[in-house]
Amino acid sequence: MPHSLTKIRIGTRASKLALTQIAEVKELLLQNTSLREDQIEIIPITTSGDKIQDRNLADIGGKGLFIKELEEALITNKIDIAVHSAKDVPPIVHEATQIAAFTKRKDAHDYFISSKFNSINQLPNGAVVGTSSARRKAALLRIRPDLKIINFRGNVDTRLAKLEAQEVDATILATCGLNRLQKNIIEKNIIPLETMLPAAGQGCLAIQIRADDQQNCALVAKINDIISEICVNTERLFLRQLRASCKSPVAAYCKLNSAGELIFRTIIFDFDGSEIFATEQKTKLSDNASTELAELAAKKTKIDAEKLLAKICG
């Protein structure tokens, strides 16, 4: 049975960024529904992805480890809603749950951070860059094959501290996360989409509920941003079509342009960035736009980049 709507229990990761994201969702609920502050309970949950910091995420189960305990809490009725960074949510979630809403997408760009250098191009030969993202690693090596990329885990403050301690020369983080934590953003350090296309869902928050929870489905629909939903679902459907995982160096970004058209760009990379295959699709906004764009891009990728796709998603 769904939990009574006299109080709604929201589950979240326990990091500072996750709690900032929860505050964002809580404010949306207070503004757009009849819920009062005392009816919203925040339940921080430490996930496996947060506990295990010394190993590469792809080797221990992927980004799904950031939502596993939250999914379990949903299924066992310990929470009513789970809030995630959409880029951390695998293309297929547990069948007893559903992604029921997306918040309005914030800046999806990646961001270059270094205490010594001002851009990727300024890094010296053989510079060490920390990232645990297969996509970011491949994109970096595509333009700078001389760089040494090392695994770099931890929350934003942990990674910034490692950078300050000179464990690496630079790192790449999501601009939206830095903005949410009110970090100082330098415009020239925002990496252009042409240099580094984002991960599917980057910049957006995904709200997960139980699959049969009609009450909360109706509730979170009131804070759903329809354009973000269409765009992020396009990206997620593309990943699903490719059977991509967090080990797969795949970028996917959909946006609505000023002419009312959805532009969907994708890139798959070889792990070392030596080979890429890119697609760009365009369609008018419609009810089936997400499926249409995702299927077109996936079909083209499967046909024209069969060997590369088999290598990175096989």
Domain harbouring 48, CATH code: 3.40.190.10
Give dist(CA 11, CA 249) in Å, integer. 29
* 142 three-state secondary structure: helix
- Domain shared by 212 and 245, yes or no: no
pLDDT of 62 reads: 47
- Domain shared by 152 and 279, yes or no: no
Please check whether residue 177 lies inside any domain of the structure: yes
Nearest to 98, CA basis, from 240, 207, 223, 225: 207
What domain count does the chain have?
3
Nearest to 111, CA basis, from 186, 179, 189, 183: 189
- Domain shared by 97 and 208, yes or no: yes
Look up the pTM and report it.
0.91
Q: 1-33: b or e for each residue (b if 16 or more CB lie within 10 Å)? A: eebeeeebbbbbbebebbeebbebbbebbeeeb
Tens of each residue's pLDDT in the chain, 314 residues: 344 457 899 999 888 999 999 999 999 999 999 999 999 999 999 765 555 455 544 454 444 566 888 999 999 999 999 999 999 999 999 999 999 999 999 999 999 999 999 999 999 999 999 999 999 999 999 999 999 999 987 888 888 888 999 999 999 999 999 999 999 999 999 999 999 999 999 999 999 999 999 999 999 999 999 999 999 999 999 999 999 987 899 999 999 999 999 999 999 999 999 999 999 999 999 989 999 999 999 999 999 999 999 999 87
- Domain shared by 279 and 151, yes or no: no
| 88, 110, 169, 213: the active-site residue | 88
**Containing structural domain, residue 246:** 239-313
Does residue 173 contact residue 159 with C-beta atoms inside 8 Å? yes
Please check whether residue 3 lies inside any domain of the structure: no
* 139 three-state secondary structure: helix
- Domain shared by 218 and 79, yes or no: yes
157: annotated active-site residue: no
Please check whether residue 64 lies inside any domain of the structure: yes
- Domain shared by 17 and 140, yes or no: no
Does residue 98 contact residue 212 with C-beta atoms inside 8 Å? no
- Domain shared by 98 and 171, yes or no: no
φ, ψ (nearest 5 deg) of residue 122: -80, -10
Please check whether residue 86 lies inside any domain of the structure: yes
- Domain shared by 160 and 115, yes or no: yes
Helices 226-242 & 289-304 angle (0-180, nearest 10): 30
The C-alpha angle with vertex 227 and arms to 222 and 230, in degrees rounded to 5, equals: 100
What DSSP letter does each residue of 18-69 carry, written as one string? Answer: HHHHHHHHHHHHHHHSS--GGGEEEEEE--HHHH--SS-GGGTT-GGGGTHH
Q: Where are the beta strands (DSSP E) in the chain?
A: 8-13, 40-45, 81-85, 97-102, 110-113, 128-130, 148-150, 170-174, 205-210, 250-256, 261-269, 276-284
User: Domain of 286: which CATH number?
Assistant: 3.30.160.40
Amino acid at 157: D
- Domain shared by 80 and 210, yes or no: yes
- Domain shared by 21 and 99, yes or no: yes
DSSP label at residue 190: B
What DSSP letter does each residue of 291-311 carry, written as one string? Answer: HHHHHHHHHHHHHHTHHHHHH
- Domain shared by 214 and 94, yes or no: yes
Q: What H or E segment, with its residue span, contains residue 313?
A: helix 306-313
- Domain shared by 96 and 118, yes or no: no
